[in-house]
Amino acid sequence: MPSPFQSFRAVRWLRTFNLVLQAMLVLTLVGGLNYLARSHPWRFDLTSDRRFSLSPETLSYVKNLPRPVRIVVTFKNEFDNPEVRGLLQEYRLAAEANPNGAIKVDYIDVYQNRREAEPLGLDQPDVILLIAGDKPRALAIDELYRMVRDKDGRTQRSAFLGEQVLTAALLDVSSPERKKIYFLAGHGELRPEDTDANRGLSSIRELLRSRNFDVETLDLTVARSIPDKAALLIAVAPQSPFKPKEQELLRQYLSNSAGRLLLFLSTRTTHGLEDLLLDWGTLVDDDVICDTGAENMTEDGDLIIGAFQPHPITQTLINYGLTLRLGETRTVRPDPGRSIGGGLTTLTLAATSLGAWGERGYRERGVPRYDPGVDIRPIPGMEPRDRLGIVTAAERVAVREGLAFSVRGGRLVVFGSGDLISNARIVNVGNQSVFLNAVNWTVDRDTQLNIPARPIERFQLSLSAADLSKLRYALLFALPGLTAFLGLAVYWTRRH
């Protein structure tokens, strides 16, 4: 009796079952891959400069949006401004991880959808409207580009600034109120309304406003108290000492109100804040940093700082290999005699090269040289080793009775340079990054980075009518013909 597996009918059923099983496995594989792609998508940007990825600063803002934002775009046609479309897609995807602040993007043709456009006040193409609650903000598409004039006087787009502009607009419409930053006055400080290259801070004012901060001035010589709404105080290059009453106002603001303070202290001046700084474990020496290394100084005498310790304020500098460029700078370091404990943490953020020293005799004429026992050298055992600090950050965290967690207190950042953020120096990417990160850290908006402009790269294929006809016939006949020829070749080979 023949085996059932030797029967032609049985073999045919086995083959049929095998084919059905293979089809089911293929369908299951495709369905599983689609489920994974839909539920757990992974996206990679393989470009060397991460051109198609949002910056860490933008991602931090988007993932912490306090309320949903709707973005309405009016384009003339669907092929216009591909950079903007791709960027808005990145914002929408980044906001999916935020349960409170989703971003919805709609495209409207203002000519064909008048009924939908008119209630929004949209009557022109090439406009981006951001809406959060009842707070709208409109942007023209050209605001997202850096414009230049060519030799013929025509205006062209040279770089894409979309992420900078859109992130600032998102912060503006999504936040119910702006945090207030006060620049201290009354002691000859640099002023935010001044446009002078060396003594002005107008560029800093615009940077802060674009990041949804209100910027005002506070004169401590006449103020009786520091406003409760002050999110941050900034003193830049005071030329005369703070009086004891003013120092007490700052002390109470930092300690009792968990205040935040940035100090930029010039050389050759007396600041009058010694007691306040000692209370926060910080020493500011009366010296001028000298460095004989050619790689640590520019041709015009600026000091180059490239040694940083990991911290939210300096992480961008470390990641991207940025440096600070400073004029005359003094030593700022943690107090070696500060008490350990009490919730106070003081850390050196930026330091000089190994060969630098703090010159105490800077008032004397002649070439500076290190005098042992007089000038300042690094203290053995203190971090960073064998270097002089120029920026410190101090934070006080208190443990309250009855609570299982600590309560964040004040934050203080001290810079040993008074002109680090002046209009002339803020153009340096490192200076700008360290300042913005210091602002973000002190006001609890811990983010990383500034958003650089992106190059515009487009490729256009220009074909004549004859070239287009050849391409059409190639697609219609050449490719199918090649496929048929390969099929016949395989068939003939298997037959023989």
Would you state the torsion angle of the CA atoms of residues 150, 152, 153, 157, taken in this order, to the nearest 10 degrees?
-30
C-alpha span between 393 and 415 (Å, rounded)? 9
CATH top-level class for 56-170? Answer: alpha beta
Fold entry, domain 178-442: Rossmann fold (3.40.50)
Q: DSSP secondary structure string, 326-362?
A: ESS---EEE-TTPPSBTTEEEEEEEE--TT-EEES-T
Read off the pTM: 0.64
12 φ/ψ angles, rounded to the nearest 5 degrees: -65, -40
C-alpha span between 178 and 212 (Å, rounded)? 6
Three-state DSSP state, 52: coil
What ranges do the domains of the chain cover? 4-39, 56-170, 178-442, 465-496
Three-state DSSP state, 246: helix
Can you read off the two tokens belonging to residue 218? 């506070």
Identify the CA nearest to 225 among candidates 243, 252, 262: 252
Three-state DSSP state, 475: helix
C-alpha span between 252 and 244 (Å, rounded)? 12
C-alpha span between 287 and 334 (Å, rounded)? 16
Identify the CA nearest to 359 among candidates 371, 351, 350: 371
Would you state the torsion angle of the CA atoms of residues 300, 301, 307, 308, taken in this order, to the nearest 10 degrees?
-80
Q: Which residues contact 75 (CB under 8 A, 6 or more apart)?
A: 81, 107, 109, 125, 126
Can you read off the two tokens belonging to residue 339? 């008490």
Sign of the dihedral defined by the CA atoms of residues 194, 200, 201, 206, in that order: positive
484 φ/ψ angles, rounded to the nearest 5 degrees: -65, -40
Q: What are the pLDDT tens digits along the chain (496 aa)?
A: 555 555 777 778 888 888 888 889 988 988 888 887 777 666 666 555 555 678 777 887 888 888 899 999 997 776 677 888 888 988 888 888 777 768 999 999 888 888 888 888 888 888 898 888 877 878 888 878 877 767 776 767 777 888 888 887 888 788 777 789 999 999 999 999 999 999 999 999 988 887 768 899 999 999 989 998 999 999 999 999 999 999 999 999 998 888 999 999 999 999 999 999 999 999 999 999 998 888 888 888 899 999 999 998 998 888 778 899 999 999 999 988 776 666 889 999 999 999 899 999 888 877 888 888 899 888 777 778 889 999 999 998 754 444 333 445 799 999 999 999 999 999 998 999 899 889 989 987 654 335 656 666 554 455 567 777 787 887 778 878 888 888 888 878 877 7
Hey, how many other C-beta atoms are within 10 angstroms of the C-beta on 472?
A: 10
